[in-house]
Every structure is written in C-alpha cells, then in structure tokens.
Amino acid sequence: MYITQHGGPFLACLIYGCSSGLTFMFVRSLKDAIYGQVWDAIEVRLHSGGGVDFYTPVLDERGVPRRFAVKRMPKETIARLLPTMQENPMREAAFLTLVQDPGHPNVVGLAAALQDDTTVYLVTPFVGGVGSGEMFDWVADNYQNPAPEATIMPLLYQIVDGTRYVHSKGICHADMSLENTLVNSAHTEAFMIDFGMALQMPTDEAGQRFMSVPDRRRAKRSYCPPETYKGRQPYDGVKVDMFSVGCMGFMLFTGIPPFDYASRLDRKFRKVVFQGDLQGYLADYEMPLLPDPVFQLLRRMMSYQPENRPLPVEVLEDPWFAPLGYAQQPQAAAPAMNA
Ligand SMILES: Nc1ncnc2c1ncn2[C@@H]1O[C@H](COP(=O)(O)OP(=O)(O)OP(=O)(O)O)[C@@H](O)[C@H]1O
Ligand SMILES: [Mg+2]
C-alpha cells in the first residue's frame, strides 16, 4: 500500500491512500506515542470538478463523519527505537488484525495499516470521550471522589470480558492499564487499546496453553505482576493480564495505585499483594474501604501466586457482577493450561 501526503490551507495534514482508496484528514494531534503521535482524523473522499479538488467527509450509518485515531510513526524513529523497546509496531498491527476478527465491542481493532516512504500509519476507529478519553485521566482527575460502584461495575465487567475475548484469540495483552483503556463521556463503555506489547501465547494444536518463556516484557510498574517484574521465570499470559486488570479495578475504586513496583522491597506491595491486605492499606491512608465483595474479588485477581488468580470467565461469573443481569453467553474458552 502506498500513500502520499498533501498539505492545504484548511487541512492540517492529509494522507491520501492512492492504492488503498482510503483518504484521511488529520483534525488534531491527540497524544504523543512511543514511536510518534496519535492523531484524531476523519475519512474523506476526494472529488475533482471544474479544475478544483475538494474533499467531503465519509459518513457512517448515523450520518456523522467516520472518525479514526491514526498512530503516525516515522520509519526512522521505528528503526532507531525498535532494538531497545519492548513495544513493536509491526506486532501491534498483526495483533490488531487478529482481534478485529470477529471483533469485540470493548476491544479496538485495526481499520487500516498504511505506509508511505517515510511513515507507518496504524488506523483504528476513534473511541473514548472528552479529553484524552483515557480511563487514567478520568480516575486521576477525580481521585478524591472516585466513581460509584454502580458506574465501575459495568466498566470492569467490559474490561474483563474484552480480556477474555483477546485470550480466546491466543493473545495476551501484557500491558493492561488505565492508560491503555479508553472510556466514553458517559462513563458507560470501556475500550481496550494498545497491543504494542502483546504476545501470542504458546499453545499446541489442541489449543492447550503453555507458559511463555521469560522475557523483558513488563506491564507498567503499578500493574505489573511479580512473575514478570522479575522477568526470570516462565509465566502464564492469562494470569499476567488478570493481575493487571485487578490493579485497574483497585485504582478505579480508590483513585490510587495499589503499589509502586512488584517487589517485596516495596512496602505497599508487601501489604497489598503479598499479604492480600488491601483494606489495611486503605486504612493506613484513612481512605474508605472497598465493599467486601469487591475486596474479595480484587484480592484474588491480585494474588501473588498466579495459580490463585481466577480466569477471566471465573471473574465474569463472580456474584458481585450479578446485579448487571447479563445472561452468561456461551463463550469461547481460553485455551487450557497444562503447565
Ligand atoms: N482508537 C483510539 N481512539 C481514541 N484515542 C486513541 C485511540 N488509540 C490511541 N488513542 C490515544 O493515543 C494514546 C496513545 O496510544 P497508544 O497507547 O496506542 O500508543 P503508545 O505508542 O503505546 O503510547 P503510550 O506510550 O502513550 O502508551 C492513547 O492513550 C489514547 O489517548
Ligand atoms: Mg499506550
């Protein structure tokens, strides 16, 4: 696929997809990313008439312009940073393609992967709400007044169900965090993004899951489980993600991270994860305690031992979620684990 760029008096920047047939107009820069920048963009169609070229937005079924987030990464930056980074844009494109089929409402898939001579563009449907749309910013902005249980419950359910879906494709996200989850303005829908650190979990032909070999892959520090923080032992990708999602749940309820880093040298980690005393940690800070069913569930998800953490489907079946009244769908089980 080859694309060229045009500038114009009214267009901040434009990608013109010659062979792809896709044209995007960059509206505003959203955020710096590891390898470049993420842009808010709409899809446009090029028209020529009377000696003038002009563009009209492509509309969706509701009649509004189709909006995308375009991760724009200079090839020079990729070549320079790739040897030292765990994130890999090519792998990200591959995983986004895999999760796109058949897709999940809470997992953002790939709309297009494009390149020109100098730049790679990963195009995903735009999701999220005001500001950056990141769940992290929403939580940080309201850390003294966290959202009520009734708001958090469906969001956490969606995150766990999205994680279950990703695992059913044989993929571990490996970087689950509030930063990599977007939320709509009404705070009713969550969306998983950023597969830059994801990995394919080793499975045999029967779909039985095996441990991943130790590597340098680490979730962000406040979400990273002990087995990958050390990076020296084989690990189960499903249980790694469950630990990180447990940390996300803790932050949604309290507005603060559960610990600084996954080592017994960290006092908070010893209290929260090693002793499972989430309530004691909150009491130390004179913060409101978690509702008991939430405490029980998060403590299991954030267990020190991976084998004590529940699978996503077990979390979804937890009685705490019963008030949502979601009928359990027949679900594609995550591959079995024999290690
Ligand atoms: N589909 C999307 N819709 C709306 N905003 C998005 C979308 N994808 C990414 N963003 C915004 O761009 C930010 C960076 O995207 P992403 O996490 O995929 O990039 P990254 O290279 O991993 O950078 P970072 O170091 O910030 O994680 C997101 O946190 C979010 O604010
Ligand atoms: Mg990210």
Query: CA 61, CA 67: separation in Å to the nearest integer?
Result: 12
pLDDT given at position 327: 60
DSSP state of 235: B
Q: What is the dihedral of CA 159, 164, 168, 174, to 10 degrees?
A: 60
Distance (angstroms) between ligand 2 centre and the Cα of 116 equals 24
Helix (H, G, I), strand (E, B) or coil at 141: helix
For residue 193, which ligand has an atom nearest its CA? 1
CA triple 278-324-256, angle to 5 deg = 25
Nearest-Å Rg of the Cα atoms of the chain is 21
- Judged by average pLDDT, the poorest of 17-21, 25-29, 257-261, 277-281 is 17-21
257 C-beta neighbours (distance < 10 Å), count: 17
CA of 87, closest atom in ligand 1: 22
292 C-beta neighbours (distance < 10 Å), count: 10
Ligand 1 within 6 A of CB of 181: no
Domains assigned to the chain: 2-125 (3.30.200.20), 133-324 (1.10.510.10)
For 76, phi then psi, to 5°, come to: -65, -40
- Judged by average pLDDT, the poorest of 169-178, 183-192, 254-263, 321-330 is 321-330
Ligand 1 within 6 A of CB of 251: no
Amino acid at 71: K
pLDDT in tens, 154-186: 999 999 999 999 999 999 999 999 999 999 999
97 C-beta neighbours (distance < 10 Å), count: 13
Ligand 1 within 6 A of CB of 193: yes
* Candidate from 100, 194, 220 with most ligand 1 atoms within 8 A of CB, to mutate: 194
Ligand 1 within 6 A of CB of 133: yes
pLDDT in tens, 265-278: 999 999 999 999 99
CA of 127, closest atom in ligand 1: 3
Helix (H, G, I), strand (E, B) or coil at 99: helix
Query: CA 122, CA 41: separation in Å to the nearest integer?
Result: 12
Query: CA 47, CA 184: separation in Å to the nearest integer?
Result: 33
Distance (angstroms) between ligand 1 centre and the Cα of 224 equals 19
